[in-house]
Structure 1
Amino acid sequence: MRSIGEMARDSGLSVSALRFYDGAGLLVPAWVDPVSGYRWYGTEQLEESRLLARLRRAGMPLADIRLVLAGWSGADSGLVRQLLQAHLRRLEQGLADARSEFSTLRALLELRENPMTVLPTAAVGLAVSAPELAAALDAVRFAVSTDPELPMLGGVLFDIEGEALRVVATDRYRMAVAQAGVTGHDGPRVQAVVPSPLADAMRALLSDDAPVRLTVDGDRLALETGDRQVAGQRLDHDFPDYRRLVRLPAGQRAFIDVPAFRKAVETGPVRAGESPDQGGVSCDVSVLRVAADGVVTVCEDVDDDQGHVAVNREFLLHALAAGARDQLILEFAAPTAPLAIRRTDTEDAFSLLMPVRLEN
């Protein structure tokens, strides 16, 4: 007999996924301890669990997986082959449709150029509050992308407009926005994408309250304080129009005590979900539900109400830490809408987490 932990290790399925597949009747343990409820699996179930993991990675629906497993255990190779071939045809048709749509989109892009980054025509120099810039960089750094295929997201956007410097980072699946006050800039809006190593060097320079000066000169950025300076080239890429990305439908707000909520997330139930930033592999997901009285709970079951959202648990913990407050606001709109994590003292600093698709 294998424990659920051993089964997870040997099969490639997470413990939460094994619990889910037990509940779905796909992979029922050979024995469940009537006292502790602990699941135990027979040695012969290891092959089925590995097959199940492969089928899920291939994106096969659970209804078809159920038939494949039945045919596999009954040695009905004809049925299994037909199901696999039918799923492969669906995947190939889906890929063909996607290629056609992307071909059309590329043609449209060639006919339409709409750069989102405003290139400064002259050097821009301004004074920045060192503590505010340090806090802003701390609030967004966790959301910077490391995907080499999306170099435009591999840095932090500095968006200078009026007396505000907005600092933005996103890896598509999470976004963080913060703000620092500036003086000395009365020209047009200026944007520059600061590569993450340069952003980290800038953050290291902001160790005290000494005056700080930020300069954007063509493709070069520099941050000076006293006799110290860090400088480098900005990324030669356009950053997405983040102002469009933060428009969310109206939802319900809930105030949370961060230390208590963090503990609830760390120790609460998790579900299996597909993490798109890792190629669709399983990740631990926290399902959050907000009640009518504003109480947020980490739950295991999901029903059809609109008061819940499933998010990558690791990303959620990062966002809570980046909020750097003992109290934050969670904003729920719908299960398919991003979860907003906002500070209580300003509307200009927040994070967004994209919802995760649960394995079902």
Structure 2
Amino acid sequence: MNGDDLLNIGAFAAATGLTIPALRHYDEIGLLKPAQVDPGTGYRRYGQDQLDDARLICGLRAVGVPIDEVRAVVGRSPGQVRSALDVHRERLVAQVREVSQRIAAVDEFIEKGTPMPTLQTIRPVQIRIRVADVQAAAGFYTTAFDVVFNESISSLQFGTYRTDRFFLITLEEHDGAASRHEGTRFGLLVDDVDTAHARAVNAGGVEVHPPTDFAWKPRTSCVRDPDGNDIDLSQA
């Protein structure tokens, strides 16, 4: 490579949107090595052919893609970059759901005038359902019911811990080669049965019975999730 074609670190930073400290850091961790380093002065110089990778790194880091995931797609096809962005988007959506629940909890604390209400009664807070693939099942439930999936405990989280709304549906992966199990049946209280029913079906669920009015209970429907678990939806 002709040395005249190389850019000093300042010019390269200006051309890519990366800061000089960031370029030095990416050199140190091996994410973006300079094309040339002067052995006497330590000055870094970069090639024109590194501009696209640097701009990609800048863009991905600007939207919060973790370093290891950036490293995995630098120099790869546009399709692989898109896949990484899809994964990151799902992560951000989950974070938005969690933050929204926390905001709702804060609003409740403000309204009740206490920083941490004490629960006075015993009540159920968790059920476990068996699924063939935890990530696939989590995708169905988060899409259908806009809930948070807490990956560290393999659970769908409703509400915030130590509030009256807190509840967990824990996803337990079973061996697909094992004999078929009978699905779990459980109920969810929803704001609008018709809307929740349609979302669940569109997310991959199967209608067991459509939204129906009853004289002795609220409007109710039933949807079967992709793993054979029945979900009764009841009007709040």
TM-score, structure 1 length as denominator? 0.29
More helix, by proportion: 2
TM-score, structure 2 length as denominator? 0.44
More strand, by proportion: 1
